[in-house]
Amino acid sequence: MAGQWRAKWWHVETYRALLSLIPTVVVSSLMSGDIVLKTLAGWDAFAIAFLGLSWLALHNRSPQELRLVVERSRRRKRLGEQMGLSPKDLTESASLMAMAATLWVLPQADEKPFSQEVVIGVCLVGVVTSWIVTHLGYLSIYIEEYVHAGGLDFPGDQEPDIGDFAYFAFGIGTSFGATDVTVTRRGIRRHVLRHGILSFVLNTAVVAVMLTFVTSYLSSR
């Protein structure tokens, strides 16, 4: 039953991020050559692992279970902030990785010590995972803010679950807002503003990567 459910240690976002560092180190150590490409490949491994663990931690959680996850995560929040693994830090890291892929690695794909296909693949995965991790980070921020101080008015009488918060976060990511969810607190408005600006930058990066992929790779085949 939901009332008997208890949040486990791996439900804490900081610990999920720490676990995800293991494949990051492995992949980065296996890559040779360009440090930027190694970093981007390590990010790909981190992001895929983190997204998988986050899906396991949050998927199908009831509103009551989400509260328990937030309460347990909040007790470890200081550790995450000290290690640079808080939701805010992850969203900023994701944006930087997307920009690195777009502005630095892709234009030099044919100059790297790997095949062009490998370099472009690493970049594509980097941008896509950066986009998802950014919105997942803000999803976590919105859940924590709502649990502790409210500030979001969802339509209907039921308490919002993970699907409602995902709807709000990814709605901002794709269309810069969710028109049927009302923001009623200034602190969350500031998060929404930063989220919207980051979304614009990331969406631009996604388009740039896709155009580069088409013009530099597909057109040459």
User: What pLDDT, in 10s, does the model give residues 190-210?
Assistant: 999 999 988 888 888 788 777
Q: Is the dihedral angle over the CA atoms 49, 133, 6, 74 positive or is it negative?
A: positive
Tally Cβ neighbours within 10 Å of residue 179: 7
In the predicted structure, residue 68 carries a pLDDT above the cut 70: yes
Q: Which residues contact 17 (CB under 8 A, 6 or more apart)?
A: 50, 80, 83, 85, 90
Q: What DSSP line would sit under 77-118, residue for residue?
A: HHHHHHTT-SHHHHHHHHHHHHHHIIIIIGGGGGGSSS-HHH
Instruction: Specify the pLDDT at position 23.
Output: 94
Instruction: Specify the pLDDT at position 2.
Output: 46
> For 74-119, how does the pLDDT look when each residue is reduced to its tens digit (9 = 90+)?
766 665 566 655 666 777 777 777 777 767 777 776 666 677 777 8
Q: pTM score > 0.75 for this model? A: yes
End-to-end CA distance of the chain: 56
Q: Is the dihedral angle over the CA atoms 125, 131, 137, 142 positive or is it negative?
A: negative
Higher pLDDT, 191 or 33: 191
Higher pLDDT, 32 or 86: 32
Instruction: Say if residues 138 and 90 touch (Cβ distance below 8 Å).
Output: no
